[in-house]
Structure 1
């Protein structure tokens, strides 16, 4: 089922959706694509450099969203001719720049001026007893199935999960309580926040939860940006304002800035202006999402990176110079691979091999062996001028 869904969604995203981008943009944001493109402000997206956190889980997130944001209209596509050529296959980021608000009260003030009904509906949801809290989805698999099956049509059209999802795809009913673990890294994390309706005696499999999960949002933090995905609610409860309550809870949490997990976050993004139906677009507009060009900070190579030396030091890596540079950015840096040959200025490869007869390599590879092993093992690399003791080099590779 997962492979079939992935195939359908991938082809929908790649071929069908892009044909709707330009007409949707003209209908939603303006009639002149080129001029509107030039007027758009930009947000600076800094995902973080791979390997900088020392956490292996960060690298897949950085790479995933580097690719995702890279497909959006960006600051280098602002000339009219570029807009005409690229716009058909490019979507426009939908974001709320949190740095525009000193505190949550400022966001509420703007909401009252522009989207008063949004706040009122969220308040009605809260008065009806719905509450928002972090959730471990493994504890609520039957409710998740019910949420996904509750509507056959959603913002992107026919919703496949409503027909294809089964409880076994979610791991079956929960048998024991799964705890919510704290993220390993404050700069790159996944968090799921749900909205619940309290119900005495309510159960999920073997668990007595005392509450029903009626909607949830999956959030990812990548550097200075939070992106919202899987923002989905039960069709029976959505009219009660539960998803608006959930959205406001998320914005309040982000703008309070007291939690270490949210410090330094500058914007929250949610899809693209052109993607999804008109209902989703107007919902996001009332939530104060606006179109922006994406200015994504590129992954940087070390200034002294040498592709040919990286290949010599890492013979398992193959490909062109671009392939080697990409490998270091997405894999090598996190794996602490060496990227340049580093030997003392007076290194003598012939003497190094003579002084270390157990080293099995030729003279051309002596510098590689010394860089990878000899320096750390404190091996001598040449005979002293007085013939008394061989010279041993210091540790200096940075």
Structure 2
């Protein structure tokens, strides 16, 4: 029984509801419904960003896919660097100290504005605030360096002294912090809070396996970044003559008994007493590039970060085409052209891994239709109750 509405009003309500539902129908379904049109090809639905916020290992294997290795890291992620699809992850958005892997964001932010051939004479005040116990490449006051030399110091020796000089050249320490924070937000890296651009242990400074993979992937699109992060050895200017420096990423160099990984592109490793060992790395095999992040392994000693990254890379290459993505490194990126950066996750509704494929535009249109129907019904009911004159 319908209460408070006439039969005719009820019919109108149904019509308006149907209009709203039709508005909610995905455009792909409508396009495929025309006579003579071929059926749309099958596609893998991308789960909502919130799937990667769940606890534990997230993976969507096909039958016969290799099992994800058991690793001890507090957080890790494996993604396709080309498509951005996340193949598997564990605690991807857990906020942890990043150590020197944060230098990837520093490079993304500062490197484009400083040509490698530019020369700079170091001043005392540029080095006075380098943190105690920092890793250093050996930058000295009064010496003149090419910017390219300083970037070798950043990527190979993880030199905080080189970071301080480059940050000064780029506008100053706090200005660099602010620019790094803005860069992270523009890339959809919403877990990262920058306090010290060199990754030095500082209260409140955090990132995540997801964000570091975003930074590493973005860096590979910059030819200078990609060249620096893949360099195993270089010469650094010193008193009288240059001296050799070597990349501290053992997975790249094969030092200290760590076997080099075939096809490794590099990127960045880090360590502090608070962060433990951290690593973001990329490797290429068979025309496919993977990026992996490993944060703070709990067993196996100081080199476990490399061995766990090796296991995850091996799995990622073996699992290619045999797992569905559990998310995307583009999933939280701000919408292009919008006045305000709005993460995709903020606009998402429904279940965390909604596979419906309905676009945001369709949802808005459908809700607008339903809303208009509700308003019309309200006005009509009010009109039916009004006295006649």
TM-score normalised over the length of structure 1: 0.27
- Higher helix fraction: Structure 1 or Structure 2? 1
TM-score normalised over the length of structure 2: 0.27
